[in-house]
Copies of this chain bind each other. A is one copy, B any other.
Amino acid sequence: MRAMSTPIAHRGVTNPPPLPPPSGPLRGADLTGERLLRAAHELLYERVGEAVSQSELCARAGANVAMVKYCFGSKDGLYDALVERVVTALVADLERPDAEHLEPAEKLRLHIRAVVRNYVRYPYLNHLINKRFLSGNVEAVQRLSETFAVPTREWYAQLLAEGHEAGQFRRLDPTLFFFSLLGVCELIFSARPWLEHAFGEEIDEQLLERFIEHTTALIFEGIEPR
C-alpha cells in the first residue's frame, strides 16, 4: 500500500507550494529581493534543510550575486526575511475567517491539521529558526518572538480559555501548551531520517493522515482507554 503513495517534500520529488505573497506591491530592487526569497524557498524545500550556496540562490533567482547583500545584507538576512514571510502568513492563518464561528475544540482540530501540513509546506522552517536560536543573535530571536511566538501563544491562551469556558477543555497553561502542541507535531519532521532509515516509513499522504489522526487523539484524549 505505502509504495503506491508519492513521498512528500522529498528531494524535489514534488513541486514546492507557493511562497506566501508579499504584503504590498513591489518595485525596483524589491522585485529582485522577491525573486531571491522565492528561490530560497524553492531550493530549501527541494533539499529538505540541506545547505544551499549563495551562487545557487542567485542562479535560481536570475539575480546578480551582489543583490543578496544589497537586498538583505547577507544570506542570513535573506533567510531571516524568508522565515519572517512564512511565520507572518502562519500567524495570519490562525484567525481564518471560515473558522471564526467554530467551537474551540473544532478550531483546535483544524489547527493541529494545519500545523502538521505546514511542516510539509515549509520543511526548512524549524531548521532556520533553530540556527537563529543557536547563533545567539538577540535581534533575530527578538523579531521571531514578536512575529511568531508571542501572537501564537496569545491565540492559544484565548482558545484554551474559550474551550475551558465552554466545558470542552480542562484548565491549561498556554505557555506550556505552546511548546507541547508545536513539539508533538514537529519531531517527526525534524527527525525524518529516523522515520525513514530506522523505521522504514515515508512521509506520504497516508502517513500524514495517520499522524494527524494520532496527534489529534493524543492531544484531545491522551492515551488512556475511552
- Docked-complex contact B134 and A214, CB < 8 angstroms: no
Contact of A225 among B127, B167, B214 (CB under 8 A): B167
Count the copies. 2
Q: Are B225 and A222 in contact (CB under 8 A)?
A: no
Cross-chain contact of A176 among B167, B180, B211 (Cβ < 8 A) = B211
- A150 CB-CB contact with B under 8 Å: yes
Report A's interface with B, CB cutoff 8 A. 49-50, 108, 127, 129-130, 133-134, 136, 138, 141-142, 144-146, 149-150, 153, 163, 167-170, 172-173, 175-180, 182-188, 190-195, 197-199, 201, 210-211, 214-215, 217-226
Beyond A170-B224, A180-B215, 16 additional contacts (C-beta under 8 Å) are: A144-B194, A145-B194, A149-B198, A167-B225, A168-B225, A172-B223, A175-B195, A176-B210, A176-B215, A179-B191, A180-B218, A182-B191, A183-B184, A183-B185, A221-B221, A221-B222
